[in-house]
A and B are shown apart, each in its own frame.
Chain A
Amino acid sequence: DTAVSQTPKYLVTQMGNDKSIKCEQNLGHDTMYWYKQDSKKFLKIMFSYNNKELIINETVPNRFSPKSPDKAHLNLHINSLELGDSAVYFCASSQDPAGKTQYFGPGTRLLVL
């Protein structure tokens, strides 16, 4: 009955590798988000999709590529991982984009060695 789920929960990988994080929501929401939380707990929006269309694309290296196969799923693929990519990545969803309450997943803790 999990509302927003992410896999994997932990990801440890070597610099230069390519990895993907998956997110699924069963709330019937139209909008999904990816956030990055750094070691100082600062949470920053990366991408947002509304009904499978990209609506927010912050200043993020193009090594990061989101993909939304349907409105219940939003995946994040990261190419050529760097040490600075180490962070916790959160997926979230909301009913629509207009400043509504967001529901967060449990996070994916990425460590790049």
Chain B
Amino acid sequence: SQQGEEDPQALSIQEGENATMNCSYKTSINNLQWYRQNSGRGLVHLILIRSNEREKHSGRLRVTLDTSKKSSSLLITASRAADTASYFCATDKDSSYKLIFGSGTRLLVRP
């Protein structure tokens, strides 16, 4: 069964605004990752946060993880039209080699 659920399913913002996407999962995890998928392309890894970390930054990306709530958020600051893509969270569970992907958030950044 699907491990992660993203919220919202779709998000439309103006260039320059911040975009926040949320991911909830069901079981304990080792790591949580965020990936981006541009239309018609493969997924690209953005950032990985370990279960013992609470926040991580990479450029304009900020990821938080709340293991008590089994949720994570991805914040993209000062969005650009090129950020238009689908964003997926992916978790790997204890003692499992599998990455389980969420349902994705489709982000549209309007120029």
Q: Which residues of A contact B (CB under 8 A)?
A: 4, 31, 40-45, 48, 50, 55-56, 90, 92, 97-99, 101-107
Contacts and interface: CB of A to CB of B under 8 A. Distances in A.
Chain B contact residues: helix, strand, loop or mixed: strand
27 contacts: A31-B97, A40-B103, A41-B37, A41-B86, A41-B104, A41-B106, A42-B101, A42-B103, A42-B104, A43-B88, A43-B101, A44-B101, A48-B97, A48-B98, A56-B98, A90-B42, A90-B43, A97-B97, A98-B92, A99-B31, A99-B97, A101-B33, A102-B45, A104-B35, A104-B43, A105-B42, A107-B41
A98 B98 CA distance: 8
Interface range, B side: 20 to 34
Contacts of B104: 41-43
A42 B42 contact: no
B30 interface: yes
Given A41-B86, A41-B104, A106 B42 contact: yes
